[in-house]
Amino acid sequence: MSAAIATMAPLQAPLRDPVARTRATVLLVAVVVLWPLLALAEFKPWQLFESGNLQVMANFLAGFLPPQAAPDFLALLWKATLETLAIATAGIALAFVVAVPLAVVATRALAISRIGPGPGRGIGAVIRTATRAVLTVLRAIPEVVWALVFVRALGLGPGAGVLALAVTYGGMLGKVYTEILESGDTRSARALLEAGSPRLGALFYALVPSTAQELASYTVYRWECAVRASVVMGFVGAGGLGQLMDQSMKMLNGGEASTILLTFLVLVVVADAMSAVIRRVLS
């Protein structure tokens, strides 16, 4: 009887992760690839915990407290904050003007020449390839490099930062706009083009309605990145919080630097809140 019960009882297979071998292989490959890269980058985090280095970092961070709150400095900070916002907003606005036409030309779903085997099919492909190459060149050069170039041409000030953001972020926005427009269902756009609609009609009536939330969210995210970038470009003379931060650091005034960092944190939080509101409105 006991033998029969034992036979009827379900046999439990030993627990085993079915993808354990795959995970182990991926981990091994990651270690093999990353280890020489970390060695080449001289990545040695244990040096941070040496007694001398810890003391240096502690002394440096101690200089950031308390934050500076003198009225004359806060007046300068307010002016620099408005300048940073102006640089980021104007730069993104110009980048949008650069990106939209390039994205419309580069988007395959809006290519009228792809509807049929017409004589312009090859020319259209060449134009799209050239446009994508322009977008690659624009976004390949960092905005700090462009800022250095425009500072030499225009002199110190926020104008150089605006143009630097317009060039680099124009390429970034155009590239991502193209990918977003092509990633969705493009059959409605093709139908409109086949019915004789112009590109802008297919864009605004077929592609934009289904991708508006993603397009707006990415644009606001790029504005947030532009705020950070404008701070960095200030170190090369492009104005804003970065230039004020550079002056404070050169004068070894940690309190002023701390106040500037707190202001920058507030700007990032505000930008994130704006992105959430826009996504909610467009949803």
The Cα–Cα gap between 70 and 248 comes to 14
The Cα–Cα gap between 147 and 151 comes to 6
What pTM does this model have?
Answer: 0.76
Pair of tokens at residue 105? 């030309």
Q: Which of 90, 73, 70, 68 is nearest to 238 (CA)?
A: 90
What confidence score (pLDDT) does residue 98 get? 92
Task: Please answer whether residues 112 and 201 qualify as being in contact, where contact means their C-beta atoms are separated by less than 8 angstroms.
Answer: no
- Band the pLDDT of 10: cuts 50, 70, 90: low
- Band the pLDDT of 7: cuts 50, 70, 90: low
What confidence score (pLDDT) does residue 276 get? 75
Q: Is the pLDDT of residue 85 over 80?
A: yes
What confidence score (pLDDT) does residue 219 get? 87
What confidence score (pLDDT) does residue 2 get? 52
Q: Is the pLDDT of residue 209 over 70?
A: yes
Question: Is the model more confident about 72 or about 61?
Answer: 72
Please write the tens of the pLDDT for every residue from 231-261: 888 777 777 788 888 888 878 787 888 888 8
> 72-282 adopts what CATH topology?
MetI-like fold (1.10.3720)
Q: Is the pLDDT of residue 14 over 60?
A: no
The Cα–Cα gap between 267 and 246 comes to 18
Average pLDDT, the chain: 80
47 secondary structure, DSSP code: G
The Cα–Cα gap between 237 and 25 comes to 49
What confidence score (pLDDT) does residue 157 get? 78
Please write the tens of the pLDDT for every residue from 109-137: 777 666 655 565 678 778 888 988 999 99
Please write the tens of the pLDDT for every residue from 163-194: 989 999 999 999 999 988 888 777 777 777 77
What confidence score (pLDDT) does residue 282 get? 64
Pair of tokens at residue 182? 């092509």
Per-domain residue ranges of the chain: 72-282
3-state class (DSSP) for residue 194: helix
